[in-house]
Every structure is written in structure tokens, then in C-alpha cells.
Structure 1
Amino acid sequence: MSSASEIDIHDELSGAAVGPFHRRLGILVALMTMFDGYDTFNPAYVIHYVAQPWGLAAGQAGLLVSSGLIGFLFGAAGHGVVADRFGRRGTLLAGLWIVNVFTVLTALLADGFWSFCVLRLLTGIGLGVILPLATTYINELAPRRVSNVFSLWGVALGWSAGGMLAGLVGVFLTPRFGWEVLYYIGALSIPLTFIVQSVLPESPKFLAARGRVEELRQLLVRLRPDRREAYAGTALRAVEPAAAGNTYKILLAPRYRRVSLTIWLTAFLSLFAIFGLTGWIPTVMMKRGETFAASFGFGALMQAASFVGGLVLAVLADRRFAQAPRYLAAWWCIGGLAIIALVFTNDHIVNIAVVTVAGFCIIGAQHVLNNFTAGSYDTDVRASGVGMELGVGRVGAILGPFVAGLLQQATGGPDAVFWAIGGAALIAACTIGSLGFRKAASAAEAKVLVTG
């Protein structure tokens, strides 16, 4: 007589050991987000070379940095519906190809303010797909007990490494080859895209939610080889229906409303601070008397510190998941106070220390916020949830460099910028701290019935 038992895909993935297949997929995602981070931050190293030849005012220079973020806003906010309906893998590939094409065109065709901004805006649409969807993908793959740490290694490491690489190229190669070299190097994402297309599987939770059971069976065997016998030779069917209706309306339904609004406001403030600072850090530090190499190096230092800060915070969040909002609040509070300290002192060692703390705390907290967001939503709205978090956040990212430029133009110095960025980080701390708890994992995670 046949017997039937239920297997919860969420439990299957959560209980898995991190094996070789997990690591290979984590490395692949890290490489994708490395090019995302590289492409996101390299406009900060273009300003130095084009501001005078293109006759840019400070406000225009801020818009030059923000133009790609405007495209990111549309990509991040719009990709979720596509990814939740048609899959993570194909949507990621589409985002990569958009970045590939317009990165090459930026190097070849951008010869003025408007052409650069338009090409950066179109590139940003692809960037707006890669980071949030990579976060969604890695969250659906990771064992729950190490989800934040795994996400840091799989997403934030790549993104931070990309930001560091942009800084190193800015320091060592742009003086010799011009700002265009930033985008020629960025075009190395093209061979990576072919590798992704041949290797990356669909998300297991998406397969379960869509009833694609044979693909799911094969993927589960690779993710959990210890459970091979349980999956082989059985009849599987998905029993949980996919979410119906407009996924963005679901994010504001009573079940999610408080979490969504809190996360969106926090992301807006966090990314306002991050991009306001990273977009102007080389220029501001040169005005404070730092050398060209040191000023450009601050951007790389900030990205390196952000991964370490995010990793420490991720370990804390994995150990006490319910306390994640409070840990995030502490990180942003420390980072905000450090930035404000620059108003009162200008010393080389202090500059290094503050930039390190800002990267460690402010950017590091943003890495963990992304994974916290992914874990706050069910499979069928997760991509939309992360996309909206980073989409709304990108409004802040767009305004950050632009407002920083206007403040410098109006005041003639960077002190107002430090007040604005530090203040935004402090308000972000208060906002996420008000949540006070992590929403319990949903009961709507996809399940499959195994009979045999």
C-alpha cells in the first residue's frame, strides 16, 4: 500500500547543508553582483575628468551620478512582476544583457552630458534587475539558519568588490587611459553572461510555486544529495497555489503593510546617505586637502569596510533573527554620528576612520536590510518585495548625489552634505528600530506532496 507524506520545500531548503552546489551558485551570483556594484559606483570617478570639459555645474555633476540610478529605479520597481510570474533565471539574464549592451555603448558613444546621462539611465534599468533579483534568488536558495551570512557572501561580497574595483580602476587606470576605461572593463560582464545562461538553474521555490515538479526534483537532488532517495522515483505535485492579483497591492495589504512601509522609508534614507556620500567622496576629500590617489581610494576603502560590517551584522541577525531591526538601527546610528563628526574636524586619520566606519555601518546595514526584506515576504511576492524596497530606495539614491551637489553649490563647502547624510542615517535608524521585530516566516511557502 502506498503512503503519502508532505514535504515542505521551505523546510527542505532550510535544513540543507551548504554544499558544493550551493557554493558554486553563490560564486556565480557574487560575480553578477560584482559587475552591478562596479557599474553602479564608477560614475563617481568620471566626474573628475568631465566636469570641466563638459562645463558642468555641481548640480549637473550630481545628476550625472544619479542618471543611472533613475534607470535603476524603473528596473527595480518593474522587474518584480516579471520575475514573480515568469521566473528568476530569465529575468536575471535579461538584466545582464541590458547592462552589457549599454555599458559598451557608454564607452563608445558618450561624448557629452546628455549622451552620458541617457546611456547611464538605460544601463540602470538592467542594474535595477540584477541586485534585487540576485538577493531574492540567493534568499530562496540559502539554508535559513545562515541566510544572512550566505546572502552576504553571495550578494554583498560581489557588490562591495565591484565598488572596490571601480575605485582601483579610477585611481590607477583612468589617469592613463581616460574615464572610458571604466566601461571597457565593465564589458567583461559579457562572457560572464554566457556562463550564467548555461549554468544557473531556476529558483527552487519558484519551481515549487509553479508546479514544475520534474525540474524541482532534479534541483533538489543537487542541493540535497543526502535526500536523493526521498526525491527519486516519486510522484510530486505542488499543492500551494501561486498568489493571484497585483503583487504590488499585496505588499500593501494588511498582512504586509507595516513591514513594507517601514522598509521602504528606511531604504530611501539609507540609499540617500550611501549614494550621496559615495557619489561625492573623491571630490569632497580633494576639497578637504587629500591627494588625488587618497581621495579616490576612499571609495574602495568604504566598499571593503561595508562587506566586513555587513558580515558582522549578518552573523548577529542569523543568531537572533527577531532582533534584526534593532541591530540595523544600531549600525545606522553609529554610521550617522561618524559622518556628522566630519563637520567638526578635518584630519587625514579622522577622514580614514570616518570613511571606514561609514562603510562598515551604513553600507553594511543596507546589505543586511536587503536580505531582511527578502525574508519578510512569501515566495510569490518576494521578488516584488525586494524590487520595491530597492526601487523606493533608489529614489533616495537619485536624490543623494543631486542634493549633495546642490548643497555644495549653495554653501560653498561640504559641511551641509555631512549634516544631510548623517541625519538621513540617524532617521533610518529610528525608522527600522520602530519595527522592533521580524515578521514571522509565512505559512504560504510552497509545499509538495510526495507519494510512493
Structure 2
Amino acid sequence: MTDVAIDVHEELAEAKIGPMHKSLGVLITLITLFDGYDTFNPAYVIHYVAQPWGLQPGQAGFLVSSGLIGFLFGAVGHGAIADRLGRRGTLLAGLWVINVFTVATAIFADSFWSFCSLRFLTGLGLGVLLPLGTTFINELAPRRVSNTFSLWGVTLGWSLGGMLAGVAGVFLTPIYGWQALYYVGALSIPLTIVAHKILPESPKFLASRGRWHELKALLGKLRPERAETYASAKFIAPGETKAQSGIARLLGGRYRRQSLTLWLTAFMSLFAIFGLTGWIPTVMMHRGETFAASFGFGALMQATSFFGGLTLAFLADRKLANAPLYLASWWFVGGVAVITLVFVNQHSPNLAIVAVAGFCIIGAQHVLNNFTAGTYDTSIRASGVGMMLGLGRVGAILGPFVAGLLQQTVYGSNAVFWAIGCAAATAAVAIGSLLKSIGPAQDRSTVMV
């Protein structure tokens, strides 16, 4: 009998979207929904606690940023764990951290410091969900629809979560107080129980660790038409280098330029996103918008961000080599839109401009997540995505804080719009520098049949 080599990487890349793909995509969508919801709901807390807790604008900005500081540690720290121990267990652990401290925030947060402390601890779990959800979907997605599948499997949930935070902020907090936001967030607990039952390990991680029996079963569900072939296969483990730490490899010769550029891009992008989304309800009320309309701006940005990301993902999937150019265009247009708010303050134009900002700035970040995952090999992918989002979260932390300080020092929102617009433009320049200088990951896993 002649042995035939089957490349697991190609098996996954050339697969059709089947029922197993769809069910896992829905599960990750629901997981990232709670990530997006929990990430953005502090923006709707500021209105209720600023006066009772005697907060200055800079402190109010830190109220939003405190969870992002935890996210930074969670995102940077989880990558090495997920690359060594697996995606599944790390993701489930992150979910339980969020569950516990979301409930604790609703019950025990009664001051500025208690709220910020609990938000920091919640952020440790949040720092796991989005990066690892992106990694998991990237390692599962067929090549021809990689970015689009990631948008449906990760970004849709995150955007819906941000919208849900806005809806809960408008309709529940006036009746039940800001704590209602966190009681709604506790609905992630039954989802976590479901995830324990149905979430498998990532197929590429299984291949990289030589866990062939589990890989056979999972591949048979992903590509049932080839299940019989997999059942009789003899697997050979791929050889992978693990001598260097994740950070050392990310800054090694092969990855150095792309890693540094992606970190700068994410820093500027998330500075702009969280500076804007963290303050948009409050700023719009100061500009004369009603309470409901002001809170609705945040939900509008999340809604348009999904469609912006989906459009960009479609373009990137059609011609991967031009992805940096498309990303740069999105951030540049979004930055110009935000700066336009300096010169315009009427309800309809405000709505249109904020919609464009969400479509472009947040939409581009959605695609950057999967773009980053696709540039690293399996053995370092979780570390690569985690470091990008973790260091990007430094920008996310500074965005709301700097926006608050600017309002405190210059007594107006125009400086905020200039800062956010320029940050988005800088992200455009940074990612544009990678045009035609970056390619997909080269790792392969093989089996013998």
C-alpha cells in the first residue's frame, strides 16, 4: 500500500462551511457577545455615578479604563497558556472569571475604587475571550472565507454585545439603576455551561500536539465526507520549534517588523475606538442631544461597525495581498469623519458621522484581529493575537483617560475629536506600510494514511 500525505492545514483551508463550522461559529459569536457587552457597558455607568461619587472627568475616564487594564494583563498573559495548554480550557477559564466578577460588580461595587477594582478583575477574563475567540475561528476557517467567517463568528457577537449594552443603558438603567447592566451580563453563566459541553479543542492545536485520536474525530465532524479516510489514518506529528519564548519569537527576525507594526496599529486604533465609545454618550449630551439619543450613539457605532468589518473582510478575502491597503483606507476615512464633528453639531449630521466612524474605525479593528491571526504560525498564533490586542489595550486604556483629561483641561469636546481622528489616521499610515511585505502563516501539519 502507498502512503498518501494529507496536510491538515490544507484539509481545514479547503473545507466547505458545514454544520459543525456553523455551530462553533454561533457558539463563539455568543461568547464574544458577552465580551462586547461587558467591554462597553461602563460608558453607560458614568452618567449615574459621576455626581454621587464626586468624579472628575479624568476619574470618569479611568472608570472605563480600569477593565481595560485587566484586559491588557489577560490578553498578554493568556497567549503563552493557550499555546501550551490549549485553546479550549483557557477560553472556558476566561469565561468563568467574567461570570464571577460581573455578578460581584452588580452586588458589591458601591464606590469609585470598588468599581474599578472589580472591573480590573473582570478585565482579566475579558482579555482572554476576544483574542482566543479570534484564534480559534482563524484555525477553523476555510481559507477562501477566512476574514468573512471570522466576522460572522467573532465580530458579529462583539458588535451585538456593544449594541446590547446601549439598549440596556437606555431602557433598563433609568428604571433599575446601572447595576442592571451587570445582572444582564450574568446571563453568560448558562452559556458557559453549554460551552463546557460542546466546545472542542482547536484542530490545529490538536495537530501541533500530536493528539491524533481527538483530531480524527473533530476532522470527521468538520468534513464528514472524509470521515472514513480520517478513521484509518496514521498520523505523524509535525516538527515545531519551541526553544524560544513567545515574545522572543514575535520579535525575532521573521516576525519583528510585522509584530511592531501591528502593535502600533492596534494601539492607535483602540485608542480611537475606546476614547470615542467611552465618552460618546456623555459628550453628545453636552452637545445638546437627548439622553436616549446620546446613549443610542454608542449602539449605532456598534451596529455599523459590523457592516463595515463585513465589507472590508469581503474585500480582503478577494485579494489578501491588498488587505493592508484596505485597512488603511478604512482608518483614514474614519479619522476624517471624527474630525468633522469639530465643525458640525446637528442631530442628523451627528448620526451620519458617528455611523461612518463606527463603520470604518471599529470595522477595521475587527478585520485586523483576523489579519493578525493569519500572519502567525499555529505554535505562536495565540501569543501573536494576544500581544497585539494586549498592547493595543494600552491605547484603549489611554483613550478614555486622555479624552477625560482633555475635556477637563480645555473644557470642550473638540480636542477629543482631534485626538481620536489623528490616532485613526496614524493607524492608517502604520498598517499601510505593510502593503506587499507580509504573507500568510507557513506552518503545516501532516498525517499519513
Report the TM-score, using the length of structure 1 for normalisation.
0.98
Match of 1:21 in 2: 20
Deviation, 1:65, is 0.4
Please give the alpha-carbon distance, in whole angstroms, between the structure 2 residues aligned to 1:3 and 1:240. Answer: 23
Match of 1:196 in 2: 195
Match of 1:160 in 2: 159
Please give the alpha-carbon distance, in whole angstroms, between the structure 2 residues aligned to 1:77 and 1:423. Answer: 26
| Structure 1: gaps spanning 5 or more residues | none
Amino acid at match of 1:275: F
Q: Say whether residues 1:449 and 2:417 are aligned partners.
A: no
Give runs of ≥4 in structure 1 deviating > 2 Å.
239-245, 437-445
Deviation, 1:35, is 0.1
Match of 2:175 in 1: 176
SS in 2 for 1:343: coil
Please give the alpha-carbon distance, in whole angstroms, between the structure 2 residues aligned to 1:60 and 1:399. Answer: 12
Deviation, 1:247, is 1.1
Match of 1:415 in 2: 414
Amino acid at match of 1:361: C
* 1:58-111, Cα deviation, whole Å (9 max, x unpaired): 000000000000000000000000000000000000000000000000000000
Amino acid at match of 2:159: S
SS in 1 for 2:195: helix
Amino acid at match of 1:171: V
* 1:323-342, Cα deviation, whole Å (9 max, x unpaired): 00000000000000000001
Deviation, 1:248, is 1.1
Aligned residues: percent identity? 69
Moved more, 430-439 or 185-194: 430-439
Q: Residues 8 and 447 of structure 2 are in contact (CA less than 8 Å); yes or no, is this contact kept in structure 1?
A: no
Please give the alpha-carbon distance, in whole angstroms, between the structure 1 residues aligned to 2:69 and 2:192. Answer: 24
Please give the alpha-carbon distance, in whole angstroms, between the structure 2 residues aligned to 1:288 and 1:438. Answer: 44
1:277-426 paired onto structure 2 within 5 Å: 277-426=276-425
Amino acid at match of 1:389: M
| RMSD of aligned residue pairs (Cα, Å) | 0.8
Match of 1:145 in 2: 144
C-alpha distance 143-438 of structure 1, shift in aligned 2 (>3 A): farther
Please give the alpha-carbon distance, in whole angstroms, between the structure 2 residues aligned to 1:276 and 1:176. Answer: 27
* 1:389-408, Cα deviation, whole Å (9 max, x unpaired): 00010000000000000000
SS in 2 for 1:4: coil
* 1:250-284, Cα deviation, whole Å (9 max, x unpaired): 00001001110000000000000000000000000
Deviation, 1:438, is 6.0
Q: Residues 270 and 395 of structure 2 are in contact (CA less than 8 Å); yes or no, is this contact kept in structure 1?
A: yes
Q: Residues 210 and 242 of structure 1 are in contact (CA less than 8 Å); yes or no, is this contact kept in structure 2?
A: no
Q: Residues 148 and 317 of structure 2 are in contact (CA less than 8 Å); yes or no, is this contact kept in structure 1?
A: yes
* 1:179-206, Cα deviation, whole Å (9 max, x unpaired): 0000000000000001001000000000
Amino acid at match of 2:109: A
Deviation, 1:242, is 5.3
Amino acid at match of 1:73: L
Match of 1:4 in 2: 3
Q: Residues 233 and 447 of structure 2 are in contact (CA less than 8 Å); yes or no, is this contact kept in structure 1?
A: no
SS in 2 for 1:449: strand
Report the TM-score, using the length of structure 2 for normalisation.
0.99
Residues matched between the structures, number: 449
Match of 1:186 in 2: 185
Q: Residues 132 and 386 of structure 1 are in contact (CA less than 8 Å); yes or no, is this contact kept in structure 2?
A: yes
| Structure 2: gaps spanning 5 or more residues | none
Please give the alpha-carbon distance, in whole angstroms, between the structure 2 residues aligned to 1:419 and 1:448. Answer: 51
Deviation, 1:175, is 0.1
Deviation, 1:238, is 1.5
Match of 1:31 in 2: 30
Please give the alpha-carbon distance, in whole angstroms, between the structure 2 residues aligned to 1:150 and 1:205. Answer: 17
Match of 1:113 in 2: 112
Please give the alpha-carbon distance, in whole angstroms, between the structure 2 residues aligned to 1:52 and 1:351. Answer: 27
Q: Residues 209 and 242 of structure 1 are in contact (CA less than 8 Å); yes or no, is this contact kept in structure 2?
A: no
Amino acid at match of 1:112: S
* 1:151-174, Cα deviation, whole Å (9 max, x unpaired): 000000000000000000000000
Q: Residues 321 and 438 of structure 1 are in contact (CA less than 8 Å); yes or no, is this contact kept in structure 2?
A: no
Match of 2:103 in 1: 104
Please give the alpha-carbon distance, in whole angstroms, between the structure 2 residues aligned to 1:405 and 1:443. Answer: 44
Amino acid at match of 2:235: L
Deviation, 1:345, is 1.4
Match of 2:207 in 1: 208
C-alpha distance 435-362 of structure 1, shift in aligned 2 (>3 A): same
SS in 2 for 1:17: coil
C-alpha distance 177-438 of structure 1, shift in aligned 2 (>3 A): farther
Q: Residues 323 and 438 of structure 1 are in contact (CA less than 8 Å); yes or no, is this contact kept in structure 2?
A: no
Deviation, 1:6, is 1.3
Moved more, 432-441 or 168-177: 432-441
Please give the alpha-carbon distance, in whole angstroms, between the structure 2 residues aligned to 1:47 and 1:225. Answer: 51
